[in-house]
Amino acid sequence: MDTAGTLTDFLRSARARLAPGDVGLPLNRTVRRVPGLRRDEVAGIAGVSVDYYARMEQGRVTQASDAVINSLSVALRMNETERTYLFTLLSASTGGRLDVRGRTSTVRAPLQGIMDSLTGSPAFVLGPGMQVLAMNSLAVALMADFGARTGHRRSLAHWTFLDPSARSYYQDWDLIAADVAAILRRDTLRHPHDPAMTMLIKELMEQSPEFEAMWAEHRVYECTFGIKRLVHPVVGRIDVDFENFAVAGEPDQELFVYSAPVGSPSADALSILAAWNVQQTRPARSPETTVAG
């Protein structure tokens, strides 16, 4: 990964998303030649020289003090995920990248057992590149059987952008897709030399104009909790709450659990889906044999 080029694009994108009024600067009627804030405005708010910030944005400053990085994140109104991303790119303490352990695609048996015990809640584990590493049966019924897929097709990102069914499945496909691109951006910094992720992003860039445009925005996102509005082909509309749990001892694995409020139409839909799933997975009964007396 070109860290200098990534830093350049990330800072420019963050600067372009802000208007003077967003950071308390006075509005004026003069035509601005660039979208968002100017470099001198960012430098002034962050308390650094214009020359220093310009060199940083040009990729000629590759490390900075924690105080400077904090000031820049505040000046550019970054959220915690974006701030962490900036630290990873610039902090001397990380050497320009995160220090992470080797990845594993194996989900521990006890964790799979816990997911299987959640008979009323879809649950699954994601790895880098949004690879679906494990699912319980209700997650398979709600989403798709990613465990039966190979290569990039096991990635939730690949499915979101390249499978036509995803566009009707997600009620807010454009918002979900933007978040997926931002999660992949986060993952590439954690695994800058991962060939599988590099090839996944290359395929998405070549086959999805929407992904190419969203990737160019240089947003980063940490998917922690929220609501997804889904349209399932069997039970129709389901609004699910989701929670993301870090898997202890596996820094690259995330457990997602879906639920719906008790008594809600979505909870009823999940119950119907669970019953339907049992019927689909129940082994066919063999014909009864009459025994002569």
Lowest mean per-residue pLDDT among 1-5, 201-205, 210-214: 1-5
| CATH 3.30.450.180 domain position(s) in the chain | 109-281
The domain at 109-281 falls in which architecture? Answer: 2-Layer Sandwich (3.30)
Most confident of the following: 7-11, 77-81, 240-244, 284-288 = 240-244
State yes or no: pLDDT of 168 exceeds 80: yes
129: Cβ–Cβ under 8 A, 6 or more apart, which residues? 155, 157, 184, 187, 191, 194, 196, 197, 200
Q: What's the pLDDT tens digit per position in 38-81?
A: 888 888 888 888 888 888 888 888 888 888 888 888 888 888 78
Round to whole Å and give the CA distance between 237 and 174. Answer: 17
The domain at 3-90 falls in which architecture? Answer: Orthogonal Bundle (1.10)
**115: enclosing H helix or E strand:** helix 109-117
Q: Give me the mean pLDDT over the 231-254 stretch.
A: 92
CA distances from 220 to 78, 86, 169 (A): 10, 10, 24
Q: Tell me, what amino acid is at 163? A: D
φ/ψ bin of 236: left (φ > 0), alpha (ψ from -120 to 50), beta (otherwise): left
Is pTM, for the whole model, over 0.75?
no
Task: Please name the residue that has the structure tokens 């220090």.
Answer: 99
In this structure, the dihedral spanned by the alpha carbons of residues 46, 48, 51 and 53, taken in order and rounded to 10 degrees, is: -40
Q: Give me the mean pLDDT over the 270-292 stretch.
A: 68
Banded pLDDT at 2 (limits 50, 70, 90): low
Q: What's the pLDDT tens digit per position in 106-134?
A: 899 999 999 999 989 999 999 999 999 99
| CATH 1.10.260.40 domain position(s) in the chain | 3-90
Banded pLDDT at 235 (limits 50, 70, 90): very high
Q: What's the pLDDT tens digit per position in 73-99?
A: 888 888 878 888 888 888 754 444 444
What pLDDT score was predicted for residue 122?
Answer: 97
What pLDDT score was predicted for residue 97?
Answer: 46
Collapsing DSSP to helix, strand or coil, 223 comes out as coil
100: Cβ–Cβ under 8 A, 6 or more apart, which residues? 190, 191, 251, 252
Contact 69, 157 (CB under 8 A): no
Mean pLDDT (the chain) is 85
Round to whole Å and give the CA distance between 175 and 239. Answer: 15
Token reading at 282: 């129940």
Round to whole Å and give the CA distance between 33 and 35. Answer: 7
